Amino acid sequence: MLDIKNLSIEFNDLNGKVKALRNINFHIEQGEIVGVVGESGSGKSVTALSILGLLDENAHISNGSITYHDQNLLEMNPKDIQSLRGKKIGMVFQEPMTALHPTMKIGQQLMKVIRQHKKVNKKEADRFAIEALKDVHIHHPEKVAKQYPFELSGGMRQRVVIALAMSSPPELLLADEPTTALDVTVQSEILNLMKELNQKRNTSILLITHDLGVVSQLCDRTIVMYAGQIVETGLTFDVLHSPKHPYTKALLNSLPDLKKQDQPLEAIEGEVPDLRNPPVGCPFNSRCKHTMPVCHEHDPKLEICEGNHYVACWLRRDKV
């Protein structure tokens, strides 16, 4: 369904060019849920925004292609891209309060989106809006449709954002940190809802998160990003239970072990490199415990290590 090849994106600012993405390659199949994990600044959100053409004006795509059903999205004009947004490719933004119009009632916002993508009258759009709220398990949808975003809880607002994204419904859903700032119970409900939509409508999902626990519950495949590059990717079980890249291992080691009391949390020493001046060689070389001279000289390529498991590391395969 979606195929991204050699995607590189730069942002121009007063201090130079920020190389946000460097030669990103991955694909998403029909009905598949793919997770993207990594620290803040690793390029996760930029990747999702580039698919829908929502990058800031100072962004420059220096290389690559984003192919959706044999159409290169980077070569489409703004009008054609607009026709895909919401209708074929939906997006759940990170913060539901800013994703919703604060002065419009929930029902009005849903109806506006529905009428933009479907040729229906106001009465039919109202019916579709109520059905969309029911699909995300909102109780008393008629009441919620008459409320403003500030009258709803964080979990309810996130359900509304998902309802907006799924109202067409799209073939591909981009979910950028959909459970951020939600408590554990509501987070679980949102994840179950997304999984239900995936199974019910065969919707493909690109899930962006920093939470490996969320990935383990929901995703078929996992992509690990660091400093604008993919450093490891494969089936979720393989990546989480048999990680090959030192960065992936460090992320997993930073998770608390609930079976052990009074265990100090492990932190990844050092800082994410400044992408205005990316390091020569492996981007993780300044923080890696296994660094070698070659790590400071050449950038490792993403190569297969076993099955469908890929890693970009000079200590790849069974040597890590």
pLDDT one-digit tens code per residue, 186-202: 788 888 888 988 998 89
Q: What are phi and psi of 21, to 5 degrees?
A: -130, 140
d(CA 161, CA 97): 9
Strands 204-208 and 172-176: parallel
Sign of CA dihedral 236, 49, 171, 211: positive
**pLDDT, position 320:** 42
**pLDDT, position 264:** 78
Name residue, tokens 């604060």: 102
Residues 41 and 272 sit within 8 Å (Cβ to Cβ)? yes
d(CA 137, CA 152): 14
d(CA 49, CA 20): 12
**pLDDT, position 119:** 85
**Alpha-helical runs (H) found in the chain:** 44-51, 78-84, 96-99, 106-117, 122-135, 141-145, 154-166, 184-201, 212-218, 236-241, 246-253
Q: Per-residue pLDDT for the chain (320 aa), expressed as one digit of tens each?
A: 999 999 999 999 888 899 999 999 999 999 999 999 999 889 999 999 999 999 999 999 999 999 999 899 999 998 899 889 888 999 998 777 788 999 999 999 999 999 988 889 999 999 999 999 998 889 999 999 999 999 998 889 988 998 898 888 889 999 998 887 677 887 888 888 889 889 988 999 999 998 888 899 899 999 999 999 999 999 999 999 999 999 999 999 888 777 777 777 788 888 889 999 998 999 999 999 999 999 999 999 999 988 899 999 998 744 44
For the chain, the straight-line distance linking the first and the last C-alpha, in angstroms and rounded, comes to: 33
Alpha carbon distances (Å) from 252 to 67, 88, 164, 206, 213: 32, 35, 34, 21, 10
d(CA 79, CA 314): 44
For residue 129, which amino acid is it?
A
Sign of CA dihedral 220, 40, 159, 116: negative
Residues 132 and 163 sit within 8 Å (Cβ to Cβ)? yes
Would you list the domain boundaries of the chain? 220-320
**pLDDT, position 181:** 67
Alpha carbon distances (Å) from 119 to 123, 125, 150: 12, 9, 30
**Residue in 227, 168, 233 with CA at minimum distance from that of residue 197:** 168
CB atoms within 10 A of CB 142: 12
Radius of gyration, alpha carbons of the chain: 21
**What's this model's pTM, rounded to 2 decimal places?**
0.90
Q: What are phi and psi of 79, to 5 degrees?
A: -65, -45
The strand pairing partners of 222, in sequence order, are 35, 234
257-267 burial: b if 16+ Cβ within 10 Å, else e: eeeeeeeeeee
Structure tokens at 224: 């690990």
